[in-house]
Amino acid sequence: MGNVLIVVEANTNGSLRKATLNAITAGHQLAKATGGDVHAIVLAKDATALAEAVKEYGVKVVHAASAPQLEHPIAENWAPAIAAAATAIGAEWVGAGATAIGRDVLPRVAAKLKAPMASEILSVDGSGADVTVTRPMWAGAVIATVKLAGAVKCFTARTTEFAAAEKSGAGEVKAFAAPAADKQYSKFVDFKEVKSARPALTEARVVVAGGRGTKGDFKPIEGLADELGAAVGASRAVCDAGWQPNDLQIGQTGKVVAPALYVAAGISGAIQHVAGMKGSKTIVAINKDGDAPIFQIADYGLVADLFKAMPELQAAIKATK
Ligand SMILES: Cc1cc2nc3c(=O)[nH]c(=O)nc-3n(C[C@H](O)[C@H](O)[C@H](O)COP(=O)(O)OP(=O)(O)OC[C@H]3O[C@@H](n4cnc5c(N)ncnc54)[C@H](O)[C@@H]3O)c2cc1C
């Protein structure tokens, strides 16, 4: 019986984070493949309210670990509790969304459980003892099929590859007594939230991204984004130049997005950028170089100067409203 334990994340207002719903779907697929149940663990100063919300998503038991040291997602504090819960329920798989928190906490959980780990899984295949997962390697140039050995295995799930779990019957909430934290190497100091009127980059239906071709002038990008109710993204060249903040970076070393529509303007289409956006449903590229590699993956390509084409596009969309 391969039970699955999913680590729950909260938004800053305490609500359930969408990335967790994607991870729960990965959990359901693993549980189906291995004949177990999906469990979840909420770690917080007071985990009760969030645990009550999570139990609606086809989760059999939500383990509510409430303790002062669990208030912030620090790996040394969270990992011992997650590992203990995994052992208590006989979990075969322990996972989370491939978010900054999931990427930080799950490797430590894997080390504590002496378990193998697959990062950023894209799919679950097979069943029983033959379950495999796929994961990207070399900036997504290669998709590896991985079979993990051992009684317990860890994973993070790429959130763009698993649909958000839907409400499907309520499970139960059980209090879980968290063990002591590991030796502290890091401590929570401060949290400054970046407030934006635009949608969050990883959750937006439409993303308009600019590259070095903007020469740092993002007005045409922001104008079209606001016309479309879209999030703004950027290539690494833009963030490295300090033209836009790092949290807008899309790609191998930035965020992975898969919106319904991705507009890339003045972006050449380097493999490391494409790794973060090629799952987008429709890709529109605007570049003045007709040989730019971005056109190889674009559904619609416009060979044009972005400073001319973007305002025209914005005006044309406005005229249809
Ligand atoms: C280990 C590693 C990790 C990396 N991680 C990332 C990552 O996460 N994300 C990422 O983006 N990159 C990443 N990179 C960098 C990547 O290799 C590229 O250097 C980067 O993506 C280039 O950004 P760009 O397309 O904006 O710039 P460029 O490659 O310089 O392209 C600019 C494009 O703009 C076009 N252009 C210029 N003027 C105009 C105009 N007026 N109108 C229209 N088009 C115009 C040009 O024709 C050109 O195609 C990484 C690199 C390494 C080595």
| DSSP string for residues in 83-140 | HHHHHHHTEEEEEEESSHHHHHHHHHHHHHHT--EEEEE-EEE--GGG-EEEEEETTT
Mean pLDDT for 152-165 is 96
Ligand 1 contact via 249 beta carbon (within 6 Å):
yes
CATH topology of domain 2-175: Rossmann fold (3.40.50)
Say whether pLDDT at 186 is over 80.
yes
Q: Identify the residue whose tokens are 């929570």.
A: 188
Q: Please, are residues 178 and 43 in contact by the beta-carbon 8 Å criterion? A: yes
Strand-by-strand arrangement of the 123-125 sheet:
123-125, 132-137, 142-146
pLDDT band at 244 (very low <50, low <70, confident <90, very high): very high
Protein residue whose Cα sits closest to atom 18 of ligand 1: 270
Q: Nearest residue CA, atom 36 of ligand 1?
A: 213
Ligand 1 atom showing the smallest separation from residue 306 Cα: 42
Q: Which atom of ligand 1 is nearest to the CA of 254?
A: 8
Q: What is the mean pLDDT of residues 259-274?
A: 97
Name the band, by pLDDT with cuts 50, 70 and 90, for residue 141: confident
Q: Check residue 276 and give its pLDDT.
A: 95
Give the dihedral sign, CA 84/184/67/195: negative
Instruction: Please list the residue range(s) of the chain that carry CATH number 3.40.50.1220.
Output: 206-319
Q: Which of 287, 305, 310 to mutate to test the pocket of ligand 1 (most atoms within 8 A of CB)?
A: 287
pLDDT over threshold 70, residue 189: yes
Atom of ligand 1 at shortest distance to CA of 269? 25
- What tens digit of pLDDT does each residue of 193-217 get? 878 889 999 889 999 999 999 999 9
Residue 243 CA, ligand 1 centroid: distance in Å:
13
Whether 5 shows a pLDDT value over 80: the answer reads yes
pLDDT for residue 1 is more than 70: no
Please report the pLDDT score of residue 194 as a whole number: 77
For residue 136, what are the β-bridge partners?
Answer: 143
Ligand 1 pocket, residue 211 CB under 6 Å:
yes
Residues 91-113 have a mean pLDDT of 97
pLDDT band, residue 108 (cuts 50/70/90): very high
Instruction: Return the pLDDT at 278.
Output: 93
List the residue whose alpha carbon is closest to atom 43 of ligand 1: 287
Q: Give 31-81 pLDDT, tens digit per residue.
A: 999 999 999 999 999 999 999 999 999 999 999 999 999 999 999 999 999
Task: Pick from 252, 278, 294 the residue to mutate for probing ligand 1's pocket: most ligand atoms within 8 Å of its CB.
Answer: 252
For the segment 135-146, the average pLDDT, to the nearest whole number, is: 92
Work out the average pLDDT over 140-154: 95
Q: Measured over all CA atoms, what is the biggest interatomic distance in the chain, rounded to whole angstroms?
A: 61
Minimum-distance ligand 1 atom for the alpha carbon of 215: 38
Q: Where in the chain is the domain with CATH 3.40.50.620?
A: 2-175
Ligand 1 contact, 255 CB (< 6 A): no
pLDDT score, position 184: 87
Q: Is the CB of 267 under 6 A from ligand 1?
A: yes
Q: Per-residue pLDDT averaged across 121-138, rounded? A: 95
The HSE-up count of residue 143 (CA atoms within 13 Å, CB side) is 9
Average pLDDT over residues 2-21: 95
**Contact criterion met (CB below 8 Å) for 266 and 211:** yes
Ligand 1, atom 29, lies closest to the CA of 268
pTM: 0.87
Distance (angstroms) between ligand 1 centre and the Cα of 42 equals 39
Averaged pLDDT score across all residues of the chain: 96
Nearest-10 Cα torsion for 157, 21, 115, 136: 0
Architecture of domain 206-319: 3-Layer(aba) Sandwich (3.40)
Q: Does 244 sit in the ligand 1 pocket, CB within 6 Å?
A: no
| pLDDT > 90 fraction of the chain, expressed in percent and rounded | 91
**What is the structure's pLDDT at 139?**
82
